Amino acid sequence: MLTVSLTARETGVNVNTVKKYYKIWYNEIMSTEHPNFIKRSKITISNANVALDNQLSKLYKLQAILEKQIKHDIEQNKGIPYLENNIYKTSILFAEKISDLILKKTNLTTTPTADIILSNEIKEYLIENGTA
C-alpha cells in the first residue's frame, strides 16, 4: 500500500483527507478480515442454503400432489377438464417457484465469500501497483 504522504502527493488530495480515508478503509478491511466475520458469513450462507432446501422440499411435495390430482382429473374426464384451469396455472406457478429457488440457491453457493473477494482484490491491487 502507498504511504499517506505519497498518495497525497500523487493524487493532489490533502494529507489529512488521505489519512481519514486510509483509516476508514483500514477499519473496513479489519472488520471484514476478522475471523468471526468470515465465520459468521459462511454460517449465514449455510443456513440460507438449508432454508432454501427446506422450501424446495415442500414445493416438490406439493407439486407431486398436484400432479397426481391433475393425472386423476385427466383420467376421470378422458382429457383435460376445462373447468380445472386453476389447477394447471397452480402447477405452472409451482414450477416457476421451484426454478426461482434453485437459481437463488445456485447464486448463493457460487458467490465467493468475503475472505475470497478480499483476497482477490488485494492480489489485483498488488498486481496493478507492481508490488506482486
The predicted structure's pLDDT at residue 84 = 57
Alpha carbon 72 to its chain centroid, in Å, reads: 39
The predicted structure's pLDDT at residue 129 = 75
Task: Give the integer Cα–Cα distance in Å for 38 and 98.
Answer: 30
The predicted structure's pLDDT at residue 5 = 78
The predicted structure's pLDDT at residue 117 = 81
Amino acid at 117: I
The predicted structure's pLDDT at residue 35 = 67
Q: What are phi and psi of 101, to 5 degrees?
A: -65, -40
pLDDT in tens, the chain (132 residues): 567 777 778 888 888 888 888 888 877 777 666 667 777 788 888 888 999 999 999 999 999 999 998 888 888 877 776 655 788 888 889 999 999 999 999 998 888 887 788 788 888 878 877 765
The predicted structure's pLDDT at residue 98 = 95
Task: Give the integer Cα–Cα distance in Å for 22 and 26.
Answer: 6
* Backbone region of residue 2 per phi and psi (left: phi > 0; alpha: psi in -120 to 50; beta: other values): beta
